[in-house]
Chains A and B, each alone.
Chain A
Amino acid sequence: MPPFTRLTSRVVALPVDNIDTDQIIPAQFLKITDKSGLAEALFYSWRYHPDGRPNEAFVLNQPQAQGAQILLAGDNFGCGSSREHAPWALIAWGFRAVISSSFADIFRNNALKNGLLPVKVEPAILNTLFNLLKEQPQAEFTIDLASQTLSYPGGQTEFPIDPFSKTCLLEGVDELGYLLRFLPQIEAFETSHVLWRE
């Protein structure tokens, strides 16, 4: 997993609540057995017309979105299916962080395991940020993980993250390595684990 320390980038704004993982990556792209082709499939149904032409009105198809690494989205981002293809697709397109007023639990877990940082801000701040980007679509935000701060033109806010995920992200360590260190305890646990079958 690539480490996440500090990121300064332009921002793509999607002011829609409850963006579900079916929108982020439709089910037709889940038939892969690897992680290929996901950048092109990100937000597929919003990005392309039924006949396959790009939907020019959709923000990801507009010039200011190109190269942006931060997504700003409405409340409850990533609800629905547990598909990890959702963070894989966001990362494949080039995003390294998503800002919202809340994230669905499974999406947040999946994002953290892939180095995609969920930045949770107060609903009022989220509104401020949407308004800011309406006026200055080229504005750059800076996310600093060590100090847990998000800076934007005219302001700054702190965001929460649990200490374990923070360390994993800062160091680029994946969780399985940590978990494997517990194998002796897991073995011991299994010998005394009281379910009817034992």
Chain B
Amino acid sequence: MPKTLFEKVWESHVVAQEPGAPAVLYIDLHLVHEVTSPQAFDGLRRRGLKVRRPDRTFATIDHSVPTIRPDLSLADPLAAKQIRQLQQNAKEFGIQLLDLDHPQRGIVHVIGPELGLTQPGMTIVCGDSHTSTHGAFGALAFGIGTSEVEHVLATQCLLQSRPKTFEVRLEGRLAKGVTAKDIILALIAQIGVGGGTGHVFEYRGSAISRLSMEERMTICNMSIEAGARAGMIAPDETTFEYLYGRPFAPQGKAWEKAVAWWRTLPTDEGAHFDRSVTLDVSRLEPMITYGTTPAMAIPISGRIPAPETAADSTQRATLEKALQYMQLQPGQSLLGQKVNVVFIGSCTNGRLSDLRQAAMVLKGRRVAPGVRMIVTPGSEGVRRQAEAEGLDRIFKEAGAEWRHAGCSMCIAMNGDQLQPGEYAVSTTNRNFEGRQGKGGRTFLASPLTAAAAALHGFIVDPRTLLS
């Protein structure tokens, strides 16, 4: 019977399944960070358990690390304590840790692919919802809670109910100035923040084939913002080319064996999906959010919808609450909307190609007076590559702040955050109330749109800056 990519990966990882119980699913790679792991390690200690496979467990420090310098003297005492706890847990349980001073440290979803830890056909988990990023390689990758972190540490397995499959077919060619970020924002706006609940997306079609790995990661990253359990893309030549020669990628004979296996993973002709949606990406404009969920997004030339158009009273109240929080009006265009802060970074858009796009807009220009612009590379590796290309100079000469790797202003638990009432254009993944700092107001957009807003001090169509 023809099978989907998801089915092939799922079925090759089921250790056992008793009637009426979820599957015992084997996990190939477990990524760990400081915020969602301390209580899990405590649980192991209480039960007298070890980490079963330290060789399949990999830790980094990203969420609460200061990005001015990865130096604990700059962190607040609680964040410093949490980071020290991970350092101690890694030592005690024999886990590899990319510590504060490690040249490869970075956001967990940036370093996995960068180091070649992330590979096609794997099951990958992390106590972080944006683990869906790794699905860009044809891995089944999803976020878990701290109890599940403990389960994987102890057994290298998870109890999982089998999700349903959801084909997301993306066809057509992107217009100039329209990016992977705009595709995923448009998809979420179309199907809603709960549209993918209980499903694993597979992104397919000609538009996906043409995307680079970094663009594919941006799309898979935000699968969770549509509620999907995971998002996957079949591995192809683009995938193999990206992985070849990376530190943890197979080498020599093993590489050939690996690629031969990876080539068997794509969805078979005629395989069945539980749901399907098609998006013609050639019709897309740059997208931007106006509200407090990633689905509250419009084309940049569009207008904010009116709450009266909502389907029921709770939906109407939800939209009214969002517009009240954002201090925006129904029917309003976002073009010309003043911004205080521009943030480039995160596991969504903090990779080298994202920084290149922002730098292309900023080169030889200045950030508008009164606008604070922060650029945080996704990893120390990205930071070094960007500096080798001179991108840091472009940012600094434009008046932006050039930081060290970390989650930074995406999660606002590390010192980087908005002040109450401030507006930001941010290349991150969540515009929830207070996500970037209590009272802060976030517009999610691509690095192009964010950089263009920084130059003007208000939101503009980035295509006007691309000649």
Contact segment of A18-26, A53-61, A138-146, A147-155: A18-26
Q: Which of B145, B161, B438 contacts A106 (CB 8 A)?
A: B145
Given contacts A106-B129, A195-B122, contact A179 B148 (CB under 8 A): no
Chain A positions 10-67 with a Cβ under 8 Å from a chain B Cβ = 15-18, 20, 22-23, 26-28, 30-35, 45, 50
For residue B402, give the distance in angstroms from its CB to the closest CB of chain A.
Answer: 24
For residue A19, give the distance in angstroms from its CB to the closest CB of chain B.
Answer: 9
**Contact B250 A196, beta carbon cutoff 8 Å:** yes
Tell me which residues across on chain A come within 8 A of B145, comparing CB atoms: 82-84, 106, 109-110, 113
**Contact A26 B16, beta carbon cutoff 8 Å:** no
**Contact A31 B433, beta carbon cutoff 8 Å:** no
For residue A96, give the distance in angstroms from its CB to the closest CB of chain B.
Answer: 17
| Interface size of A in residues (CB-CB distance below 8 Å) | 60
Tell me which residues across on chain A come within 8 A of B413, comparing CB atoms: 27-28, 30-31
Q: Which of B42, B52, B312, B412 contacts A27 (CB 8 A)?
A: B412
**Contact A113 B147, beta carbon cutoff 8 Å:** yes
Contact segment of B76-84, B343-351, B356-364, B371-379: B76-84
Report if A69 contacts B (CB, 8 A): no
Given contacts A27-B412, A28-B413, A197-B250, contact A185 B193 (CB under 8 A): no
A162 to B36, CA, bound (A): 26
Tell me which residues across on chain A come within 8 A of B250, comparing CB atoms: 196-197
Given contacts A35-B39, A104-B227, A106-B129, contact A22 B433 (CB under 8 A): yes
**Contact A194 B151, beta carbon cutoff 8 Å:** no
Q: Quick one: closest B residue to A30, CB to CB?
A: B35
Interface centre among A28, A31, A174, A190 (most CB of B within 10 A): A31
Q: Which of B82, B156, B315 contacts A31 (CB 8 A)?
A: B82
A-B pairs with beta carbons under 8 A, tally:
199
A3 to B430, CA, bound (A): 35
**Contact A18 B318, beta carbon cutoff 8 Å:** yes
Q: Quick one: closest B residue to A35, CB to CB?
A: B39
**Contact A105 B197, beta carbon cutoff 8 Å:** yes
For residue B56, give the distance in angstroms from its CB to the closest CB of chain A.
Answer: 10
Given contacts A79-B194, A82-B144, contact A105 B229 (CB under 8 A): yes
Q: Quick one: closest A residue to B315, CB to CB?
A: A17
Contact segment of B203-211, B253-261, B280-288: B253-261
Tell me which residues across on chain B come within 8 A of A32, comparing CB atoms: 38, 78, 82
**Contact A183 B433, beta carbon cutoff 8 Å:** no
Tell me which residues across on chain A come within 8 A of B434, comparing CB atoms: 22-23, 26, 45
Q: Which of A30, A75, A84, A197 contacts B254 (CB 8 A)?
A: A197
**Contact A80 B129, beta carbon cutoff 8 Å:** yes
Given contacts A16-B318, A31-B76, contact A186 B157 (CB under 8 A): yes
Report if A114 contacts B (CB, 8 A): yes
Tell me which residues across on chain B come within 8 A of A104, comparing CB atoms: 194, 197, 227
Q: Which of A16, A26, A76, A195 contacts B227 (CB 8 A)?
A: A76
Tell me which residues across on chain B come within 8 A of A74, comparing CB atoms: 314, 318
Given contacts A18-B293, A76-B194, A82-B145, contact A26 B438 (CB under 8 A): yes
Tell me which residues across on chain A come within 8 A of B15, comparing CB atoms: 182, 185-186, 189
A17 to B320, CA, bound (A): 11
**Contact A179 B157, beta carbon cutoff 8 Å:** yes
Report if B388 contacts A (CB, 8 A): no
User: CB-defined interface of B283-320 with A at 8 Å, one 1/0 digit per residue?
Assistant: 00000000001000000000000000000111101100
For residue B432, give the distance in angstroms from its CB to the closest CB of chain A.
Answer: 4
Interface residues on B, range: 35 or more
Chain B positions 254-285 with a Cβ under 8 Å from a chain A Cβ = 254, 257-258, 261
Q: Quick one: closest A residue to B42, CB to CB?
A: A34
Given contacts A83-B36, A185-B15, A195-B122, contact A179 B24 (CB under 8 A): yes
Q: Quick one: closest A residue to B195, CB to CB?
A: A76
Given contacts A22-B433, A176-B150, contact A81 B129 (CB under 8 A): yes
Tell me which residues across on chain A come within 8 A of B121, comparing CB atoms: 195
**Contact A45 B85, beta carbon cutoff 8 Å:** no
Tell me which residues across on chain A come within 8 A of B147, comparing CB atoms: 84, 110, 113-114, 174-176
Report if B20 contacts A (CB, 8 A): yes
Report if B1 contacts A (CB, 8 A): no
Q: Which of B21, B127, B432 contacts A20 (CB 8 A)?
A: B432
A176 to B46, CA, bound (A): 13
Tell me which residues across on chain A come within 8 A of B35, comparing CB atoms: 30-31, 83
Q: Quick one: closest A residue to B89, CB to CB?
A: A33
**Contact A50 B21, beta carbon cutoff 8 Å:** no
Report if A6 contacts B (CB, 8 A): no
Given A27-B413, A105-B198, 5 more A-B residue pairs with CB atoms under 8 Å apart are A15-B317, A16-B318, A26-B438, A45-B433, A105-B197
Q: Which residues of B contact A (CB under 8 A)?
A: 12-13, 15-16, 20-22, 24, 26, 28, 35-36, 38-39, 42-43, 47, 52, 63-64, 76, 78-79, 81-82, 85, 119, 121-122, 127-129, 143-148, 150-151, 154-159, 161, 163, 193-194, 197-198, 224, 227, 229, 250, 254, 257-258, 261, 293, 312-315, 317-318, 321, 411-413, 420, 430, 432-435, 438-439
What are 18 of the A-B contact pairs (CB < 8 Å)? A16-B321, A18-B293, A23-B434, A27-B435, A31-B35, A31-B82, A80-B432, A84-B36, A84-B146, A123-B312, A127-B313, A130-B314, A163-B20, A176-B150, A179-B158, A185-B24, A186-B52, A193-B26
Q: Which residues of A contact B (CB under 8 A)?
A: 15-18, 20, 22-23, 26-28, 30-35, 45, 50, 74-76, 79-84, 102-106, 109-110, 113-114, 123, 126-127, 130, 162-164, 174-176, 178-180, 182-183, 185-186, 189-190, 193-197
**4 nearest A-B pairs in the assembled complex, by CB-CB distance:** A196-B258, A76-B194, A84-B145, A110-B145
